[in-house]
Structure 1
Amino acid sequence: MIGNAPWIALPETKAVIAALEARGYAGCARFVGGCVRNTLMGKPVDDIDIATTLTPDLVIDALEQAGLRAIPTGVDHGTITAVSGGRPYEITTLRKDVSTDGRRAVVAFTQDWNQDAERRDFRFNALYADTDGRVYDPTGEGIRDAHEGRVVFVGDPMTRIREDYLRILRFFRFQAWYGRGEPDQKGLAACKALKGMVSGRAAERTQKELMKMLAADDPRPAFRLMAATSVLSSILPSVKSLARFEALVGIETEQLFENDPDLRLAALIPDDPKVAEQLAERLRLPNNVRDRLVEAVGKNPRVVSWMSPREARRAVYGLGTRTFCDRIKLAWAGSGRDSTAPQWRALLALAETWNPPAFPLSGEEVMKAGVPKGPMVGEVMREIELWWIDQDFIEDKFSAIERLKAVAQGMVY
């Protein structure tokens, strides 16, 4: 039993269940998967998924009759998204596999809850609960797995993986989020045996699984397993060592930094912008993530723990606060020297508290000093800006103007 869990008692949830049961019958809809699993494990529930014996057309009709919005997000596979009170609920008709090719499945709808459970990936994801909080465990082991933190495939692991090869990554992702103790050896062996099939799968789905894995509180054990089974090299051939990645996760934990999956990804690869660009292309990363990775693994200017405040301000101004902090954390993780932790923290504090000033001169002021309109204006401004930075961002605008006059007088037009 999960009792009257808060998410079951939500008026929005009750409205969706009531709509389905009004069109079908009492008990035609049950909560399934993550919401049940996480409640049993005492973890937060983000998404509320529902399984039902109603076919998609009846689900749509039921929702519309109740005045709820119905979105056919995956109608061919039986999935309709209901929107109740602004909250989404994914509703899927019970299914059984007709055929699979490791990428896509042809399904048929069924009225059999056990058949629906048999096609799911892991036993603790094949749990159902009714509106009274009664939990149904068709595999007979899902509740135990949830309590013990065991990630175990439903039935034969090789069969489950061949239905969808990205279940290999899901195995490690769930291990990162929920696994405790030793991993299931049969599942691990199946992932290792079929590791070559995960390469070349849909980039977007691979990216999604990888980034979710990286967002776990401590994904280090799961990544060690991926490396040991060569699954990691199948999807990220540029990764040669886990040392910096492991150190970064340790720093985040010790310093109470927020989990940063993007930076953790950067920590896995060499300090080479070209490698970052190739990785971004391979995983179809969003442009903003790609740009962050490329900037984070750049080498100039060099970031070291013994930078003076003046050197640090210069780097923050040139790189921007986020990139500077990214490079500091990566350098800290790569240094392998805990004794320098106070210096790294001081550099981060400087970057987070110092507001880079705006360059005090404008193009108009440069031209007033006698520099003719055109490319020369930009050249002069860049020269004065370099002097201003070298003066540690001097706030005396008069000094900047005097410097401008001296530069302008010494130029040959």
Structure 2
Amino acid sequence: MSFPETQLRPLSAEERVHFAWLRRPPVQKIAAALDAREPGGSRFVGGCVRDSVIGATPKDIDIATVLVPTEVIAALEGAGLSAAPTGLEHGTVTGIADHVGVEITTLRAAVTTDGRRATVAFTRDWTIDAGRRDFRLNAIYLTFDGRLFDPVGGAEDARAGRVRFIGAAQDRIREDYLRILRFFRFSARFAQGFDAEGLGACAAEANGLSILSAERVGGELCRILDLPNAALAIDAMAASGVLDAVWPAPPDRTSLRRLKEAYPAAPAPLGLAALFGETGAFSAGESLDRALRLSNADGARRKKALQAAAALAAADTKGARAALYRFGGQAFEDGLMIAAARGAAVDVDKMREIARTNAPPAFPFSGRHVVALGIAPGPEVDAILKATEARWITEDFPSTERLQKLLEEVVAHRG
């Protein structure tokens, strides 16, 4: 696919305000190194240009270049900068200046694809590189001297809040089925609705998600759930059959919507907790955490949030203190959010006040207190200590004197 060359348009004075990152020393050093190798042969691209066009602050800086990776490395090292070969098979080198990394990728043309990855060939044609990208708003380029190159109308889409595939939507999706999930993520982030052609193509090609690795699917779903507007994406995914292709358990979209309305920054583990609840094994022992390849930390946070929510759903002051002790501060707060999102009659402000002003003490006993009562060191000591701690929690953390009595009772009545 190729597009007619469009005239480079200089940024206006008003637009330049949002491109202040162009003047950052690390960016200028890397740009100067590439330009010295081939003047005009490299341009900024992707999120840094798109976000600046709509007045947002970009997180990362990316550069597209006609230089092949070996030339990029030589240009950077020749300027006294560092080069990390972070994705040579895709034509990507990370340039590093003043400890700041910038991804630099050679212009590419897709040769073949199996829906998971593409075999690419390097090119020097900017319109060919633009044509193999996913969405129009991601194919906006900016020269180092501040001129926009916009061969597919991406700037207009970005300003209008539209997310549209480049060319035929189904063709772009079949090149990489992860673009289905990216369509919902970018639409929820940059638009208030969904392009009809793109939505129809995603629905038609949803089964293609099955050939992708669990890591890629899980990672993209979590990026969707991280968004403040995640419920918009999830509703559309459910209606189009895409959500069922990701995880075929009944979703609680109402709870997710409540969660994001009250706590827009609630992270993906809590989004999953609200959306799928205690859903565990769905088929053949495959758990949600494993199916999506969640990190151990994210999986643990999701589970603890649900456990804390169950404990807090109808808790009084005593129950709240017990939950805070058992689950810790973060899980206590997470549990409050999930309990409220799921419609429990929990007074969130009151519970937070309890945690702030009436938190339980640390358990003051250890194994030596058990051994002092004549119990030989070993597994029995740990069992007695745990039983004593459980009774101490049940009695709402009484004094050390009472705790000593509880310990003596457990020892006296041990089996």
Instruction: Trace 1:278-317 onto structure 2 (pairs within 5 A).
Output: 278-298=287-307, 302-305=311-314, 307-317=315-325
**1:283 & 1:267 partners in 2: Cα distance?**
16
**2:250 & 2:92 partners in 1: Cα distance?**
37
SS state at 1:3 partner: helix
SS state at 2:109 partner: strand
**Partners of 2:219 and 2:292 within 8 A in 1:** no
Answering whether residue 171 of structure 2 is matched by residue 171 of structure 1, we say no
Deviation, structure 1 residue 297: 2.8
Cα offsets for 1:118-164 (capped at 9, x unmatched): 1010111010011232211111x211101011000111111111111
Answering whether residue 29 of structure 2 is matched by residue 15 of structure 1, we say yes
Name the counterpart of 1:118. Answer: 131
Answering whether residue 46 of structure 2 is matched by residue 33 of structure 1, we say yes
**1:217 & 1:174 partners in 2: Cα distance?**
12
Note closer, same or farther for the CA distance 1:17–1:348 as it changes in structure 2 (3 Å cut). Answer: same
Cα offsets for 1:165-213 (capped at 9, x unmatched): 1111110010111113x32111111111111111231222212211111
Note closer, same or farther for the CA distance 1:372–1:351 as it changes in structure 2 (3 Å cut). Answer: same
Answering whether residue 184 of structure 2 is matched by residue 184 of structure 1, we say no
Note closer, same or farther for the CA distance 1:375–1:198 as it changes in structure 2 (3 Å cut). Answer: closer
Candidates 43, 48, 61, aligned match of 2:61: 48
AA matched with 1:195: A
Deviation, structure 1 residue 352: 5.1
**Partners of 1:176 and 1:219 within 8 A in 2:** yes
Deviation, structure 1 residue 91: 0.5
Note closer, same or farther for the CA distance 1:358–1:147 as it changes in structure 2 (3 Å cut). Answer: same
Name the counterpart of 2:105. Answer: 92
TM-score by length of 2: 0.90
Deviation, structure 1 residue 364: 1.6
Answering whether residue 35 of structure 2 is matched by residue 24 of structure 1, we say no
Instruction: Trace 1:309-388 onto structure 2 (pairs within 5 A).
Output: 309-335=317-343, 340=345, 343-351=347-355, 354-388=358-392
AA matched with 1:121: D
AA matched with 2:339: A
Name the counterpart of 1:155. Answer: 167
AA matched with 2:194: P
**1:411 & 1:101 partners in 2: Cα distance?**
67
**Partners of 1:271 and 1:299 within 8 A in 2:** no
**1:291 & 1:393 partners in 2: Cα distance?**
26
Name the counterpart of 1:259. Answer: 266
Name the counterpart of 2:275. Answer: 268
Cα offsets for 1:85-117 (capped at 9, x unmatched): 111101011111111111111111111111111
- Percent identity over paired residues: 41
**1:272 & 1:100 partners in 2: Cα distance?**
35
**1:320 & 1:63 partners in 2: Cα distance?**
48
**Partners of 2:279 and 2:288 within 8 A in 1:** no
AA matched with 2:75: A
Deviates more, 1:163-172 or 1:217-226: 217-226
SS state at 2:227 partner: coil
Cα offsets for 1:22-65 (capped at 9, x unmatched): 1112x111100100000011112011000111111111100010
SS state at 1:160 partner: helix
Name the counterpart of 2:247. Answer: 236
**1:196 & 1:402 partners in 2: Cα distance?**
63
Note closer, same or farther for the CA distance 1:147–1:360 as it changes in structure 2 (3 Å cut). Answer: same
Task: Structure 2 unaligned segments of length 5 or more: list them.
Answer: 1-10
SS state at 2:211 partner: coil
Deviation, structure 1 residue 390: 2.8
Name the counterpart of 2:227. Answer: 216
**1:216 & 1:112 partners in 2: Cα distance?**
35
**2:148 & 2:76 partners in 1: Cα distance?**
25
Note closer, same or farther for the CA distance 1:230–1:214 as it changes in structure 2 (3 Å cut). Answer: same
SS state at 2:263 partner: helix
**2:350 & 2:169 partners in 1: Cα distance?**
49
Note closer, same or farther for the CA distance 1:407–1:28 as it changes in structure 2 (3 Å cut). Answer: closer
**2:309 & 2:335 partners in 1: Cα distance?**
10
Note closer, same or farther for the CA distance 1:322–1:353 as it changes in structure 2 (3 Å cut). Answer: farther
Task: Structure 1 unaligned segments of length 5 or more: list them.
Answer: none
TM-score by length of 1: 0.90
**Partners of 1:161 and 1:167 within 8 A in 2:** yes
Name the counterpart of 2:3. Answer: none
